[in-house]
Amino acid sequence: MFLLAITVSFIIQKIILAAIIIGGSLGIALYATWAERKVSAVMQDRRGPTRAGPFGLLQPLADGVKMFMKEEIIPMFSNKFLFVLGPSLAMVVALMSSAVIPWGPDMKFADGTSFSLQVADINIGMLYVFGVVSLGVYGVMLGAWASNNKFSLLSGLRAAAQAISYELALGLSMISLVMMTGSLSLNDIVSQQHGFWDGNWFSWNVFKQPLAFLIFLVCSFAELNRAPFDLAECESELIGGYHTEYSSLKLGFYLFAEYISMFITSVIISTLFFGGYNFPGMDALANMVPAPLFSIICILVLLAKAIGFILFFMFIRWTIPRFRYDQLMNLGWKSLIPLALINMLITGAVILYFNK
Amino acid sequence: MSFTISDKSKLVDRRPMTFKDKIYLPAILGGLKVTLGHIFKKKATINYPEVKREFSSTFRGLHILNKDEENRERCTACGLCALSCPAEAITMESAERKPGEEHLYREEKYAAKYEINMLRCIFCGLCEEACPKDAIYLTQTFAPANYDRKGFIYKKEDLLIPNK
């Protein structure tokens, strides 16, 4: 039945949507690098990039040109295929999880046609996200392994161990959320968080599952390899970490993939816990403006939430020092996983109590 | 055994972490308060080439050779500045003023060649103090960067104050 619904126009629609989403993600990631430099500058009483364009807004382009013009070096004893595969995989995987995110409610046009703002509404959206996020570490690992450099290798080991440890807590924290929503589809999870107040309690999941949100947030820092858990690129011990041997565009891919994953992760956190494209008073607004415009407003709301999280990631990076490796492992295995399990237990008990 | 030279030493706190320390969150929020507070602070950096920070009024920078009211060089090549210079940065050659050059040089003797090596100079200002003719002064500018050492040897033409 499902296969029959696929028509040429459907495919074209999805391709256009995917192209827009990828382009948008790249653009936001581009300006995330600019924002990171500005945020760090503001926090250290500096000015940050000011030379390229007004407020340094052309700085990302200048950075891109710089990366592009650099000499491209592939170390002699490296595994050439894996060496190139590493950064490509990092980039592709970073973009892949954007496919299941519902960016807004369906765009309904005056002539009755509607246009879904989700590339793929699969009923296991959450599992898909987890699968893709776990693949993310392969980009780092392959690049590190193929470099044939002991510092890169150590960094790859660290990244892999860290990702595996924190994925557990991440998954466990999600289980309690899924127990509550009863669905793995991101579309369902978002529509359950409709508006802001459902008559008895806040409808956003962050107010129903604050502990799960906290665990998810901490784990996403670790999954993103970002400070304070950026042990994989710990300069003081590992030179540049897994990208020590990389130069030119391939280095740019690694650095850029980090910002894309940061954006996608921010969108996923907003979708799962902060109501996705829902906002207070959306029903009132839906009656006042035409439907396509309403969809666009919803997209902007989701983007605003995501940008808020990106800024939060940056504030944290420039605030706290890096964790030590044993502290990282202690936090993951001895604190976050038990906490997530307890959260699961409490959620189960509460659900049982209310359903009786 | 231990003794303290000053009262500035601070013992490292090696007490085991309390529960509040272990959950990290209060410390992180405290840190965020500090860093976010900096958003509203005055920036320490200035937009350098457009905006320049003022030097102190006693700043000693590049030298100039002064002229008198009638645009005549005041320097008589007495060599006191070179003598007083602790870095031996100043060299000069004197010459006798010829008839018809009275509008150029104030006195009978003048410096035909006057060089200061800005790489040797320590900008102490002793030449300025030694000069009996008020001929050499230190200004509020500094030597711009250069590609080779030769560029730092300032000739008389570089040092002379422009005509009024």
User: Tens digits of per-residue pLDDT, B68-122?
Assistant: 888 888 899 999 999 999 999 999 999 999 888 888 888 889 999 999 999 999 9
Residues of A in contact with B41 (CB under 8 A): 45
Higher pLDDT, A235 or B133: B133
Q: Please tell me which residue of chain A has the smallest CA distance to B44.
A: A45
Judge whether A334 lies within some domain: yes
Residues of B in contact with A227 (CB under 8 A): none
For helices A210-223 and A248-273, angle between their N-to-C axes, nearest 10 degrees? 170
Model confidence band, residue A4 (pLDDT cutoffs 50, 70, 90)? low
Q: Each residue of A133-160: pLDDT tens digit?
A: 888 888 888 888 888 888 888 888 888 8
The overall average pLDDT reported for chain A is 85
- Residue-level pLDDT at A7: 76
Interchain CB distance below 8 Å, A320 and B28: yes
B40 neighbors B34 (Cβ within 8 angstroms)? no
- Residue-level pLDDT at B93: 92
**Alpha helix positions (H), chain B:** 19-22, 25-37, 80-84, 126-130, 156-159
Judge whether A104 lies within some domain: yes
Residue A291 has pLDDT above 70, yes or no: yes
Judge whether A110 lies within some domain: yes
Residues of B in contact with A45 (CB under 8 A): 38, 41-45
A-contacting residues of B 12-51, CB under 8 Å?
Answer: 22-24, 27-28, 31-32, 34-36, 38-39, 41-45, 47
Q: Please tell me which residue of chain A has the smallest CA distance to B19.
A: A335
CA A299 – CA A237 distance, rounded (Å)? 42
- Residue-level pLDDT at B80: 92
- The domain spans of chain B are 63-159
How many Cβ pairs closer than 8 A exist between chain A and B? 37
Amino acid, single-letter form, for residue B80: L
- Residue-level pLDDT at A278: 83
Task: Tell me whether A42 touches chain B (CB under 8 Å).
Answer: yes
Judge whether A34 lies within some domain: no
Model confidence band, residue B129 (pLDDT cutoffs 50, 70, 90)? very high
Q: Each residue of A211-236: pLDDT tens digit?
A: 889 999 988 888 888 878 887 777 77
Measured CA to CA in angstroms, residue A57 lies from A38, A42, A68, A69, B79 at distances of 10, 15, 19, 20, 56
Residues of A in contact with B23 (CB under 8 A): 335
Residue A329 has pLDDT above 90, yes or no: no
Interchain CB distance below 8 Å, A315 and B43: no
Give the mean model confidence (pLDDT) for residues A99-126. Answer: 79
Name the architecture of domain B63-159.
2-Layer Sandwich (3.30)
- Residue-level pLDDT at A342: 92
Judge whether A248 lies within some domain: yes
Judge whether A213 lies within some domain: yes
Q: How far is B96 from chain A (nearest CA, A)?
A: 54
Say which DSSP state B43 is in: P
Q: How far is B145 from chain A (nearest CA, A)?
A: 21
In this predicted complex, what is the ipTM? 0.72
Select from B22, B31, B44 the Cβ nearest to the Cβ of A319. Answer: B31
Give the mean model confidence (pLDDT) for residues B41-57. Answer: 85
Select from A43, A320, A335 the Cβ nearest to the Cβ of B38. Answer: A43
Greatest mean pLDDT among A4-18, A99-113, A314-328, B110-124 lies in B110-124
- Residue-level pLDDT at A304: 92
Select from B23, B24, B38 the Cβ nearest to the Cβ of A45. Answer: B38
Q: 10 Å Cβ neighbour count for A340?
A: 25
CA A238 – CA A167 distance, rounded (Å)? 23
Interchain CB distance below 8 Å, B28 and A50: no
Domain of residue A100 covers 71-355
Interchain CB distance below 8 Å, B43 and A45: yes
Count up the domains in chain A and report the number. Answer: 1
Nearest to A223 by CA among A305, A151, A328: A328
Judge whether A131 lies within some domain: yes
Task: Tell me whether A334 touches chain B (CB under 8 Å).
Answer: no
Give the mean model confidence (pLDDT) for residues B114-131. Answer: 92
- Residue-level pLDDT at B115: 92
Judge whether A51 lies within some domain: no
